[in-house]
Chains A and B, each alone.
Chain A
Amino acid sequence: MGSSVGDGAKLQPSREGGRLCVRCGERKAALKRPKTLEQICRECFYVVFEDEIHQTIANNSLFKAGERVAIGASGGKDSTVLAYVLSELNRRYNYGLDLFLLSVDEGITGYRDDSLETVKRNEIQYGLPLKIVSYKDLYGWTMDDIVKAIGLKTIVHSALDRGAALLKADKIVTGHNADDIAETVLLNILRGDIARLSRCTFITTGEDGPIPRCKPFKYTYEKDIVIYPFYEIYRIYSPNAYRGFAREFIKDLERMRPRAILDIIKSGENFRISTTTRMPEQGTCECCGYISSQTLCKACVLLDGLNRGLPKLGIGRTKVGAGSGDGMQHAKHSERNRSSLQGKHGNLDF
Chain B
Amino acid sequence: MSLPISYSVRNVRARLRRTSLTIAVIALAVVASAVFLALISSLQRTLVSTGSPANLVVLRKGSDNDGSSMLTLEAYQAIRFFDGIARNAEGQPIVSPEMVVQPTVRAVSGTRENVLARGVEPMALVVHDRVRIVAGRMFRPSSGEAVLGAGTVGRYQGARLGEELAFGRRRWRVVGIMEAAGSSFESEVWVDARELASDANRPFPYSGIRLRVAAGADRDALVRRIEDDPRYALEAKPETDYYAEQAKSSRSLYVLLVVLAVPVGIAAGLGAANTMFAAVQARTVEIGTLRALGFSRATILRAFLLESFGVAMVGFAVGAVGTLALAAGIGAVLGDIGFTAATFTTNLVALRVGAGDLAAAFLFAAAIGIIGGLLPAWRAARLRPVEALRKA
Binding between chains A and B: no
A contact set with B: CB distance below 8 Å: none
